Structure formats: C-alpha cells, structure tokens
C-alpha cells in the first residue's frame, strides 16, 4: 500500500519558494514529501541571487488583487476547476469523474456528493491535518460508491463516530482504526465494507425501464453525449490554454485550409491592403513574417480563431439554437453577398487603427495581472464603453434609417428612463453618460439573449463582468468607493432590484428593463439617440461573441491581435532560453507568464513585437479565411462565414466558422449501447429509420469514410455482420455471485476491495501524520533526507501511486460494468455490434461490458439461445473447464481426467462458491472457471441426462503462439511448425521451451570457452546461484519479437525478469544484469534463427523490402504502406509524422498539431510485420465466421480465441483448420506484397534503379498436416 507521508510538510513554504499557490498540493501524490531544501530551481529567477529579488514579484501565488472583480467569471472558473480536479482522478474527496475515467452510459446514475465539499477541503491544504485527510480520502473513498457522504455517515454511526463534514468523519474513523490496530478492540481488521446503496431494491429497479428498446437506449446515450459535449465547450476563456488544447482537432482542419494560401499569396494580399497610411504597418509585418515559418503564424491563429468561435460564457449560451438565423430574423445581420475581394479587404483595413487602440487600451487595464490578462474584466469593459461613448456622434449619424424598429424603441425607452432617473435620484444627476451606457450594455445583453434563446435564459447568463463594469464606472466617477456604493444602493432601491453597495446582482438588468418599459417621458435627443443606437449595436456584437459558434468581427480582431502578439513575443524569447528554463515554463502552470515575458525581454534586450504589425497580419489572415479560395484560386469553401450588419458598418459584422455544425455527431463521442434486437446496420438502406450505429459512415471500419465505402460489400463486412448478430444475455448466477463478492468487500484479480482495512493507515507507522504544532516558518525544523534516500523514496512513491491508480481505475470500471449488467439482466437477448480497425481486427462497439473484457466481464455473459450438450459437448465442456484451471499443457484426455478427479470440487464450487474450499479460486481465470463449474454441475444433475442439458456457456479454443503459426505457414517452416502445433502431436508443444533448450546448449558451449557472461547466466551451481535462465525469462521477448519489437526492447524485457530474480538472491550488480540482458537477447535471436529458420527469413525479407521502398520515396512525399488482404480489405497503415507547436498564452502553454500535410512516419517500417500478421489473422477469422454462418452455426471470437457452443466445437475446430489451409494454400502473402508494391512504387523504384528482391525460398512443410493437428487451436 502506498505510504501517505513520511514527515510533516508545510506546502505554504513550498509555495513561497516556488511561486505556487499555497493550496495547490500536487495531485500526483498529495501526501508525498517534497523537502524544500533539497529541491533545485529550474528557472534562474527562482534561484538564490540577483534574479530572485528581481523576479519574486511575478513568481507569485497567481492571484490578482481584483477586489471589485470577485465575481468575474466565477461560475465558469469554478466549473473548470472542478473538471480539472476530476480529470486528475480526485477532487480532494475521492470523487471520480466517470465521464473521464470510463465513459458515460445510461445505466450509471449520477453520484450525489456533498455540495461544495471539494472547495473547503482544498482551501485548507496548507495544514498537515487537512493534507493527511485528502490523502486518506484518496485511498479509502476512491470509488464511485464508497465516497458517498451519507453512506460514510451510516457506516460511521455503526462505529459510534460522528462528524460534521466528510473530512472530519474520515479523520475520526482513522483515529478509531488507530486505536483498534493497537489492541483496544478485537476487531482489528474492520472487515465490514460499505459499497453504497447500489444493491438496495430501490436503486436496483430505479434504472430499469420495462419498455427499453434499441431506440430508447441510443436516445439516452446520444442525449448524454450531447450534454457532455456542451459542458465540454462551456468554459471561460480565462483558461485559454485549455481552450486551445480542447479544440486542437478543429484548428488543424482550419490550418490545412489556410497554410497554403498564406504561403503563396501573402505578398499579393499585403500589397492590396497597403495604402499610404498603412505602409509602415506592412514594413513591420513583413519583417515579422520573414523571421518566422508560415506554420508558426497560421497555427496559433487557427487555434485561437476556433477557440473563440467555440467559446460560450454559460451553459445556456451553447448551441441550442441557430444564433445567426435568429439575428437575421431580428433584422440585425444579413449574409454577405458576393463582394469584391479588395473592397472587403479595404473595409477591414479601415478597422486597423481602432483595433490597435483597443488592444493597447486593454493592455493598460490588465497591467501584470496573470489571471485576468486578455479577458473582459469589469475595468476593461468600462474603459471600452467609455472610449466608444466618447467618440464623435458624426460617426453614427446615419444609423437611424437602417436599424430595426425594436432597436430604436429600446434606445428610446432607455433614454426616457435615464432622464427620469437623473431627476428622481439627485446623486446621479451629474454622472457622465458612459455610466448609463454601462447599464445599457447589460440591459441589451439580457434582452438580446432572451430574444435568441427564449425562456431558458436567466439573469445569471449576463456575464458578471458586465455587472462589475457598472460598479467600476460609478467608482471611476465618484473616486470614492463609499460614495459609489451609496449611489448604487439608491439605484437598486429605485429599480426594486436586490443588491448592496458592494455587488451588482444579476437581477439588476431585468429590473431596469422592466422599469424602462413604463417610462413614457420623451427627451427627444436625436444626437444622443444615434450614439446610444451605436452602443446597442456594439453590445449586440459583444453578446453574440459570448455565444458559441459566433463572434463579432471587431471583437475577434481585438482578441486575435492580443493573443497572437503575446504568442509571437513569448516564442521569440522561448527560443533563447536554456533547456531547464524551457522545461519549467512547460511544466509549471503557476508561473506568471506576463511578467516572465517582460523579464526575459528585458534580460535579452528583445524589442516587443509591434501591435500594428500583428494587427495587420491578423486582418490579412481573417480576409483569407473569409474569401472562398481567395488566395489559392482552387475555389474551396471559405473557412469563415461573414454576416454584415444592416448598417453596412464593418465593425458590427458577425462571423462564424463554416465547418462547424451544431453538435456535430463526430464531436459527441457517443458511448454505443448494446442492442436489444439485432438489425444489420452494415448494409442498411438509406431509410428514415437510422440508429446510432449508422449515423457515422465510418463506424463499421475505423478509418476514412472512403475506405468504409470501398469495402462495404467485401467479405470482411459479411464476417463482421456474422460476429455481430450472436445473441447474448447476462448470467444471473454469475451476476449474483460477483455482486456478493463485491458487497462483502473482497478483491480478486486486478479488482481491489472496496476499502483497505483502516488499520493499514496507522499513525504509529507514519502512514498518517500527527497534527503538528510546530508548523512555523523555521526551515530548520524540516526533516531533510540525503539524495540517495530521497531518490529511492520518490521512485517508490511513483511506483506505488501508479499501482494504486491502476487498481482504483480497474475497480471503477468493474463496478460500472456490474451496474450495467444489473440493468440488462432482465432482457433475454442483447447484441454487441462489432467494428473493424484498419487491419480488419474486430472489436465490439459497446464499451465496458462486452466479451472482449477481462475474466470477470466475460463471466457475466452467456449465449441467449441454448443448445443441448450432446456427448461431444460434455467432453469439450470439461476440456474448457480444465483450460480455465490452467491445464492447457495437458492432452485433451488428460484434461478431462483432471476434471473427473475433481468433480466433487466442481459441484461444491457451483453450489457454494463463497464457502468451503473455494476450489475455483485456484484457477488462472477464476470467474470463467466458476461459470464452467456451474454449467457442468447443472449438466450432471439434469434429469434427462447430461447430453440433453441445454447449455449456454461459450466454449473457447485459442491459437498456439498464433503469430509464429502464421509465419511458419507463410515460410513452410517444418521445424518451427512442430513447436507451434501445426503438426500433429500427442501433447501440446511448447515453443518457448524448445527455444530455451536451443539457447541453453549454445550458452553452455560459450561457458566452456570461458565466456564470463555465459558463466554468470549458468551460475556456479552452489546455493541459489543456479538455474537462472528460465522459460519466463525469454517468454516476452520471443512473443513480442514476432510483432516487431526492437533489440533494445527485447533487452529491457529480459532485464525486467532478471531484476525480479535478483531481488531474491542479490547475486548480480546492475552492470551484470545489463550485460546478461544484452547477451541473452542475442541468444534468443540466434535460437529463433535456428528453430524458426524460414520464419526469420520471411521477417528479414519484409524488413529489407520496406527499407528499399522507404528510401526510394522523397522524404516529404512518403506515403503510407498499404496492401490488400485475401478477402479484399485494403490495409493502409495510419502512421504519420506528427509535428507539434507550442502555443503560449497568459495562462500557460500547450502543444497543438502544427503540420497541415503529414508525410508517413518511420513507424511504417517497424509496424509492417505485426500489422501484416494481424491482417492475415483477421482474414482467417473472417473466413471461419463466414463458413460457420453458411453451415447455420454461430461463433464469436476475440482475435485468435474462437468461441462457440460446446456441442458445435468439433465443427468449429474442423472449419478453422480447413480455412487456415485454404488461406495459405491459395495465397502467398510475400509474393502478393512484392507484386502490389512493385506496381504501386514502380516510378520511384525505376528512378533509383532499385529492384525488389524475391521472397525467400519456402521450406518443405505440408500444410495439410494442420487438418489433423489436434492442438493447432486448443
């Protein structure tokens, strides 16, 4: 078990030295000790010396002194923080975000947690006690059910323990466990486990619908997927790094459309944009463009562009309606007709001065604040509105004729209301106009959202920053917070809205709007009316920018200019930093990026990038995005759709990305449910009756849509359909047994218990730190370890945490599968539709609970339609049971004899699985073994005889060293075939033992020649220094060598086994084991070359041919290796070079794809051997499935493990052998590869004068012997 801490540690001390928040305990191991004295800084500005003094002001806690902005983006940030915590695996209380860990399904109800629990705990992590509580909750309450507060309280009450909060409750339980562990109670283990109320009758039936159908299941899954997708998009753009990372795939598509036009036509478009005024803009922009690669400019532009169009300030403003369509209905915008490209460019360039001024104005408002820099803070909104309000009225004098009537009415009502308020509230009589303009902005925002979204809009959907701008405007006028608060209180009372002098409540703007509608006084100020109309239109653009999939043109220009300028500046200084500084910037999220940038610009004497130059480039890129094929001349669809304002003023235009559709199905990541009635979705006609399985054209085949269309009628699709239509049901017996096991708190396999016994967390052993009274600022009291101890401790911490994380993840996944099984147990038939990957291997689409899972998952499923066992079926059922007990190395008759000898154990296991000797738990796959025990016991008790028993259990036969079997058949390797059971034998052959014997003879020969490493491998024969080279030492490298493992990888696998052995006897040093691993690797390869001579020749030929093809292709135009399988499937390896780029934002940095056109990667060479074998293995499976279907029989498979009824197993065994012989008797894979590749790469080979060599000569194996080999699949 992971030890939680070794000594008390105060995180605030680390925060002070490292510039992190005092509450940010590292999520990797919250209890892990990190001694401040032994840690060395990576950045120069946190080291002792001159830089510490200069930089300590910006390596801060990461918070801003925004006393008036306390509600700025509060809801959004809170949501993001909770999401981030859950993504890390725990939010401080052990709650697991099931959408992140294991997907979402309709069968998993929401877990009720104590509201607001996470916040108070995280707020106190500076203390040792709270830090320990977090770690304990992480260990004890780490699964879906155990972390429920009410369940924990119920459990605590049985122990006479109480607590007001969960943290206090757990700490009291630990204190109790500590006392019990020291003998104060006989119940030292506290074995009672509490799983939660999942097995109560009420919960058991609450999630079950009596009328579930395929459609209802799919609708529920799609609904959840849509909801999760919308929540995924709902984020505050204060987390710009998160925005960029989440939208990387969409930004890559935009990048591919823009990179070539920018490379080819930048100069032409720039010349067209330049007038006399903008000549200096272009000169600076050219200098910037020439200093960078095109991808360094277009990649961040695409990332920020997509992020802002996808951005929404609240969940209600996500894509629930077509915003553009509603704006057109409100007569605010209209689609831009075909316009002259240069005219559009000139209109955009007219905005450049205003954009630059706005960016510089915002920069003054931000200062060095980290969290608010680049966002719409109240102060930024106030300054922007004031600057716009102070602009001359002549700029807007022609708005009246074109603005819709409802806008005029809104302006008129507000002007009347303002006049009345100034009269009725004397303190507001002399306030400047921009104060009321800030109020007008909030009113317009709320009113427009109501018109777009209707009744779902609430006052809280108006961003808090808009409310904060009203307060800041008052404070700016009165220059006294008390007077401003008094004036606001008067205004709140006047409009009858809740609020106080400190905060403008969300209900303020609806109250103002309601009161405006009753204001009848007409002031008749036409000049003011035009200015206010312009403010309304400006706020409309700002409000649209807060809705997903749309953005105001002017707002987009400002944001892109702001962020790209920061990107260009930071990337410039990042290139000058050393490796340690770069690593620190990439990994430490708490660094103040703004002040870091300013510091290094000063240190390296770098002139900041000009705002004018960046604005010029942004306008050019935005113009290229708007124009259909503007630069490329290819007539491609424009990236952006532009909707011009009815006023024809460009600053009021709206843009959206044309490729983005509302809740696109591809973005939903739908969790496919099992089907309750099977309808072949592979060949379904184009009807209205569509299901989730055929919404996506490429669901059947994981790859491109074209690939799916090409093979839509191929035999592989017929085989896929045959595998998918096998009906299953949930085994009630196994479900009850597994529920009982979990309910009692036992763990098995990789499934850990519900709770670790509490006494494991004993304070006396240091697992839990005592509350310390000595937590002051005296560093001398901090315990310091030497470097070796610290290194060993950290490595052990990492390993323990990794193991614990894997265990908790397995448990969560398993418990979810149990709940899903409980929901499906009432149905007589369920189906698992399958899909294919690019090689043709088949996988079920429904996740979590399916037949490809581990032992507990497979044991929950049985065939829905039974068949009588028959005499042969009883025999093969016993063989199946022996296989699950790990007796697969015996002959079939010996396996049956083994089961007959243990028939009493079989019956006892079936009748009392959790009592008695529990013989089934000794099995290699215990759950499936118990399932077979139950089936055999029921068959033996059948009143009509075992032969007439209706069996539902799937009986499996597995290939013997399947990869080597295929290679031996390809090369007709007679000697190797005997080791992989292609040749008949009395008992199953063991390839690993055969290779080991060949190795040992070679090692002994070397040892006789005084080879020191060989002698070390054999040992002296005294004590434990003997028999070091075992079967398991070489098993992994042999198994993976067939699938293309590298020499280094083989050495590492052998080294791992040697390290495990050395822990028992300690005879070798690290150097000794490294030498032995390298030596044994060479011996493995040498022995493989002897025992599988033809097999190794085939692999070498594949390697040589692929290297030739790789070398003759131009590096930038290398294509993916592809071939056609015997059943017509075109296999195209998907491996491409992935080029990434760092995107720098004020909140950190992120990596995004930066290559618009990807060439094939070198993985094409290393993956060809395993992928070729996998594609042939998939062909063998497909041929077998089709033939079984032709015979009227069904089968299921997991790659090289074939399943069917026990009575049908002899037929399946015969068919799979016949199909294997047919596959390699009529098809020579190597010659087919040579011919296909010679045709595909003819020009490249001819240009370099290369010729592909012929495949190696085959051996003398007669494939027909496979037909009589009993252990080929066994």
**Residues classed as catalytic:** 958, 1035, 1200
DSSP states along 744-794: HT--BTTB--SS--GGGS-GGGTSSPPP-S--SS-GGGS----HHHHHHHH
What's the rounded Cα separation, in Å, for the pair 818 and 812? 10
Of 390, 376, 321, 434, nearest to 555 by C-alpha is: 376
Q: Which two tokens stand for residue 711?
A: 């093979």
Contacts of 610 (CB under 8 A, 6+ apart): 284, 288
Q: How many CA atoms lie within 13 A of 805 on its CB side?
A: 14
Sign of CA dihedral 236, 238, 243, 245: negative
The residues with which 835 forms a beta bridge, in sequence order, are 843
The DSSP bridge partners found for residue 1140 are 1153
**DSSP designation for 984:** -
Distance CA 1203, CA 884 (A): 14
Q: 648: how many CB neighbours lie within 10 A of its CB? A: 12
Q: What is the three-class DSSP state of 1203? A: strand
Strand duo 1140-1145 + 551-552: pairing: unpaired
Location of structure tokens 């450049």: 352
What does residue 1136 show for φ and ψ, rounded to 5 degrees? -130, 160
Output the six-digit token pair for 169. Answer: 């409750």
The answer to whether the beta carbons of residues 453 and 557 sit under 8 Å apart is no
Element (H, E) at 552: strand 551-552
Q: Which residues in 279-349 belong to E strands, given as ranges?
A: 333-335
**How far apart (Å, rounded) are the C-alpha atoms in residues 339 and 1213?**
71
Compute CA distances 1073 → 1019, 1022, 1045, 1060, 1077, whole Å: 13, 19, 20, 11, 6
Which residues does residue 1144 pair with via DSSP β-bridges, in sequence order? 1149
Q: For the chain, percent helix, then strand, then coil, each to nearest 5?
A: 60, 5, 35
CA–CA gap between residue 141 and residue 149 (Å, rounded): 10
What tokens does 69 get?
Answer: 């902005």
**Cα 820 from Cα 848, distance rounded (Å):** 9
Strands 1122-1124 and 1130-1132: antiparallel
In the three-class reduction of DSSP (H, G, I as helix; E, B as strand; rest coil), residue 1138 is classed as coil
DSSP 554-574: HHHHHHHHHHHHHHHHHHHHH
Paired tokens of 1133: 């390896």
Using DSSP's 3-state secondary structure scheme, residue 689 falls into coil
Cα–Cα nearest to 1083, from 1044, 1056, 1054: 1054
- Is 1220:1180 a contact under the CB 8 Å cutoff? yes
Helix (H) or strand (E) segment spanning residue 856: helix 855-859
Rounded distance, CA 610 to CA 607, Å? 9
The three-point CA angle 361-364-366 to 5° equals: 110
Question: Are residues 86 and 100 in contact, defined by beta-carbon separation less than 8 angstroms?
Answer: yes
- What is the three-class DSSP state of 1143? strand
Run of H or E including 728: strand 728-730
CA distance 61 to 12: 10
Strand order in the sheet with 551-552: 333-335, 640-645, 654-657, 551-552
């Amino acid at each position: 078990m992971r030890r939680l801490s070794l000594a008390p540690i105060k995180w605030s001390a680390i925060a002070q030295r490292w510039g992190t928040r005092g509450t940010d305990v590292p999520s990797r191991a919250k209890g892990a000790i990190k001694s401040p004295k032994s840690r060395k800084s990576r950045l120069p500005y946190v080291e002792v010396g001159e830089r510490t003094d200069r930089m300590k002001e910006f390596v801060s806690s990461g918070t801003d002194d925004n006393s008036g902005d306390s509600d700025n983006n509060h809801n959004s940030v809170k949501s993001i923080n909770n999401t981030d915590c859950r993504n890390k695996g725990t939010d401080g209380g052990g709650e697991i975000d099931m959408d992140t860990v294991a997907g979402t399904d309709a069968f998993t109800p929401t877990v009720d947690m104590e509201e607001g629990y996470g916040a108070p705990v995280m707020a106190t992590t500076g203390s040792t006690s709270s830090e320990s509580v977090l770690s304990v909750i992480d260990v004890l309450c780490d699964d879906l059910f155990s972390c429920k507060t009410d369940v924990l309280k119920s459990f605590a009450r049985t122990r006479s323990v109480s607590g007001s909060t969960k943290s206090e409750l757990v700490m009291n339980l630990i204190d109790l466990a500590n006392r019990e562990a020291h003998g104060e109670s006989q119940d030292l283990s506290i074995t009672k486990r509490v799983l939660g109320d999942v097995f109560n009758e009420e919960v058991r039936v609450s999630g079950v619908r009596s009328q579930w159908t395929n459609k209802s299941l799919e609708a529920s899954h799609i609904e959840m997927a849509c909801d999760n997708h919308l929540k995924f998009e709902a984020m505050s753009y204060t987390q710009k790094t998160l925005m960029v990372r989440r939208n990387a795939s969409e930004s890559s598509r935009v990048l591919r459309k823009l990179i070539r036009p920018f490379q080819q036509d930048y100069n032409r478009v720039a010349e067209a944009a330049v007038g006399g005024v903008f000549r200096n803009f272009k000169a600076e922009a050219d200098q910037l463009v020439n200093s960078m690669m095109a991808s360094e400019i277009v990649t961040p532009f695409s990332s920020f562009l997509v992020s802002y169009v996808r951005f929404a300030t609240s969940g209600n403003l996500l894509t629930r309606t077509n915003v553009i369509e509603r704006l057109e209905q409100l007569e605010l915008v209209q689609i831009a007709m075909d316009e002259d490209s240069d005219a559009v460019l000139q209109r955009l360039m007219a905005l450049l001065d205003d954009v630059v001024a706005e960016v510089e104005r915002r920069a003054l408002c931000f200062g060095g604040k980290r969290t608010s820099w680049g966002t719409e803070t109240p102060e930024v909104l106030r300054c922007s509105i004031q600057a716009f309000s102070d602009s001359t009225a002549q700029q807007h004098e022609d708005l009246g004729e074109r603005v819709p009537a409802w806008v005029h009415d809104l302006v008129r009502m507000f002007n009347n209301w303002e006049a009345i308020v100034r009269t009725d509230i004397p303190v507001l009589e002399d306030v400047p106009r921009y104060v009321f303009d800030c109020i007008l902005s909030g009113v317009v925002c709320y009113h427009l959202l109501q018109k777009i979204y209707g009744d779902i809009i609430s006052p809280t959907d108006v961003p808090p920053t808009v409310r904060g701008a009203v307060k800041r405007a008052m404070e700016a006028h009165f220059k006294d917070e008390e007077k401003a608060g008094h004036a606001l209180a008067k205004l709140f009372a006047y409009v009858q809205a809740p609020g106080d002098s400190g905060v403008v409540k969300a209900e303020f703007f609806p109250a103002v709007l309601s009161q405006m509608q009753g204001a009848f006084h007409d002031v008749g100020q036409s000049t003011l009316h035009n200015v206010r109309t312009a403010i309304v239109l400006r706020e409309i653009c700002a409000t649209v920018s807060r809705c997903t999939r749309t953005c105001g043109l002017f707002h987009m220009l400002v944001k892109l200019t702001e962020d790209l300028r920061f990107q260009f500046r930071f990337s410039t200084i990042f290139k000058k930093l050393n490796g340690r500084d770069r690593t620190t910037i990439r990994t430490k999220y708490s660094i103040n990026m703004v002040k870091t940038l300013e510091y290094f610009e000063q240190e390296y004497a770098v002139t900041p990038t000009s705002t004018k130059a960046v604005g010029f480039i942004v306008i050019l890129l935005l113009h290229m995005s708007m124009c259909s094929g503007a630069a490329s001349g290819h007539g491609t669809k424009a990236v952006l759709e532009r909707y011009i304002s009815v006023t024809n003023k460009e600053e009021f235009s709206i843009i959206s990305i044309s490729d983005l559709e509302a809740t696109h199905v591809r973005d939903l990541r739908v969790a496919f449910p099992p089907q309750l009635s099977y309808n072949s979705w592979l060949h379904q006609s184009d009807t209205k009756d569509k299901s989730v399985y055929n919404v996506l054209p490429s669901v059947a085949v994981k790859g491109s849509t074209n690939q799916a269309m090409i093979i839509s009628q191929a035999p592989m699709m017929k085989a896929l359909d045959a595998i998918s239509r096998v009906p299953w049901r949930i085994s009630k017996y196994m479900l009850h047994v597994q529920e009982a096991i979990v309910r009692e708190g036992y763990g098995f396999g990789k499934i850990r218990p519900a709770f670790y016994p509490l006494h494991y967390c004993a304070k006396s052993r240091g697992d839990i730190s005592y509350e310390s009274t000595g937590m002051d600022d005296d560093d001398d009291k901090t315990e310091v370890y030497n470097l070796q101890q610290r290194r060993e401790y950290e490595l052990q911490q990492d390993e323990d945490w990794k193991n614990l994380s894997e265990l908790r993840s397995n448990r969560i996944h398993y418990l979810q599968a149990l709940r899903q099984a409980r929901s499906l147990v009432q149905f007589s038939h369920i189906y698992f539709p399958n899909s294919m990957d690019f090689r043709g291997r088949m996988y079920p689409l429904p996740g979590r609970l399916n037949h490809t899972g581990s032992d507990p998952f497979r044991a929950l499923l049985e065939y829905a339609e039974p068949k009588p066992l028959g005499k042969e079926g009883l025999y093969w059922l016993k063989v199946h049971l022996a296989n699950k007990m790990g007796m697969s190395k015996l002959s079939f008759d010996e396996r049956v004899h083994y089961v007959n000898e243990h028939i009493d154990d079989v019956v006892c296991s079936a009748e009392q699985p959790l009592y008695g000797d529990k013989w089934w738990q000794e099995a290699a796959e215990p759950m499936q073994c118990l399932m077979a025990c139950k089936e055999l016991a029921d068959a033996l008790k059948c009143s009509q005889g075992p032969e007439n028993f209706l069996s539902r259990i799937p009986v499996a036969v597995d290939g013997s060293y399947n990869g080597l079997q295929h290679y031996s058949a390809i090369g007709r390797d007679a000697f190797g075939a005997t080791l992989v059971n292609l040749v008949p034998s009395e008992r199953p052959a063991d390839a690993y033992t055969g290779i080991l014997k060949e190795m040992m003879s070679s090692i002994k020969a070397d040892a006789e020649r005084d080879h020191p490493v060989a002698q070390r491998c054999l040992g002296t024969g005294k004590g434990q220094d003997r028999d070091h080279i075992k079967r398991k030492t070489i098993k992994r490298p042999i198994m993976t060598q067939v699938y293309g493992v590298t020499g280094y990888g083989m050495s590492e696998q052998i080294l791992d086994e040697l390290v495990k052995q050395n822990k028992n006897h300690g005879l070798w040093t690290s150097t000794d084991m490294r030498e032995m691993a390298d030596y044994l690797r060479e011996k493995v390869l040498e022995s493989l070359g002897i025992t599988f001579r033809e097999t190794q020749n085939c692999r070498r030929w594949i390697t040589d041919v692929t290297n030739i093809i790789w070398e003759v292709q131009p590096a930038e135009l290398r294509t993916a290796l592809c071939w056609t399988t015997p059943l017509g499937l075109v296999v195209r390896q998907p491996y491409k070079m992935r080029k990434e780029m760092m995107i720098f934002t004020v909140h950190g940095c992120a990596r995004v794809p930066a290559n618009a056109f990807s060439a094939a990667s070198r993985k094409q060479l290393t993956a060809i051997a395993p992928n070729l074998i996998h594609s042939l293995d998939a062909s063998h499976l497909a041929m077998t499935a089709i033939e079984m279907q032709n015979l009227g029989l069904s089968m299921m498979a997991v790659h090289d493990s074939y399943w069917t009824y026990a009575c049908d197993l002899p037929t399946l065994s015969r068919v799979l052998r016949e199909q294997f012989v047919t596959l390699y008797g009529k098809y020579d894979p190597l010659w087919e590869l040579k011919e296909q590749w010679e045709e595909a790469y003819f020009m490249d080979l001819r240009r370099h004068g290369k010729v592909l060599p012929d495949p190696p000569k085959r051996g003398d194996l007669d494939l027909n012997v496979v037909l009589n080999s009993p252990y080929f699949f066994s």
